[in-house]
Amino acid sequence: MNSDNIMQRALGEQWQQLPPALQQHYQHADNKDIGTLDVEYPRFMQPYLNLLRLFGALLNRPGQGINTTVKKQMRGNTQYWERSVQYQNGKTLHFKSRWVFAKDNELIEYVNPLLGLRMAVTVINGELHYQGKHMVLRLGKLLIPIPEWLLLGHTTIIETAIDDRHFTMDFRLHHPIFGQLYRYAGRFKTQID
């Protein structure tokens, strides 16, 4: 078992280029991020997002300034994330995933036992950039790549430190034909449990 966090393994020497707020966000110890989230997408995406939600993927309700808590726990070489998103009407949605190191600078985030997203990470000017590589269908030890455009499009995430404790994140899905189909973005502070 490797005692480095999965992001540190993926970034290698680039880990030292991450500001303290982002290093805290990905630390090996159990922790949680507290903040607010904006979720936006075109209305025509609603039925598709409702279907994806059945598979554990994404949030299927738009909103602005939604109170959000992201709990992260390391178990062996896997990091488990549980996002709790509480809307103003009191309804709370949960979005769970697990992260594993793949190889080189790549991670896979699984939203259920079979479906995941393989992403490459790099540090650019102190920001953490993710680029989606492809979706993954996991059948036992076999990982079958599925092009991103078959689902929602290309994934990008940019995380930026605001100061030593706070950071922003901006997740987008951009389809080559239909343009931006989904975005969630927010501001968070990491707390050690």
Does any domain span residue 13? yes
Does any domain span residue 1? no
Q: Is the alpha carbon torsion for 107, 109, 110, 114 positive or negative?
A: negative
Question: How confident is the model at residue 37, as a pLDDT?
Answer: 97
User: Tokens for 124?
Assistant: 């650019």
Measured CA to CA, the distance from residue 143 to residue 158 in angstroms comes to 26
User: Tokens for 23?
Assistant: 């290093």
What's the CATH code of the domain at 161?
Answer: 2.40.128.20
The residues near 114 (Cβ < 8 Å, ≥ 6 apart) are 137, 138, 139
Q: What confidence tens digit (pLDDT) does each residue in 63-101 have? A: 999 999 999 999 999 999 999 999 999 999 999 999 999
Cβ proximity of 6 and 44 under 8 Å: no
Does any domain span residue 116? yes
Does any domain span residue 31? yes
Question: How confident is the model at residue 150, as a pLDDT?
Answer: 86
Rg of the chain on CA atoms, in Å: 16
Does any domain span residue 141? yes
* pLDDT of 2 over the 60 cut: no
Q: Are strands 92-103 and 106-110 parallel, antiparallel or unpaired?
A: antiparallel
Does any domain span residue 188? yes
Task: Please give the residue range of the domain that contains residue 79.
Answer: 6-192
Q: What confidence tens digit (pLDDT) does each residue in 5-23 have? A: 899 999 999 999 999 999 9
pLDDT band for 28, please (50, 70, 90 cuts).
confident
State how many domains the chain has.
1
Average pLDDT of the chain, as a whole number: 95
Measured CA to CA, the distance from residue 147 to residue 22 in angstroms comes to 29
Question: How confident is the model at residue 54, as a pLDDT?
Answer: 93
Question: How confident is the model at residue 126, as a pLDDT?
Answer: 97
Distance between terminal CA atoms of the chain? 22
Does any domain span residue 80? yes
Can you give the length of the chain in residues?
193
Taking the whole predicted model, whether its pTM rises above 0.85 is answered as: yes
Does any domain span residue 63? yes
The residues near 143 (Cβ < 8 Å, ≥ 6 apart) are 108, 136, 137
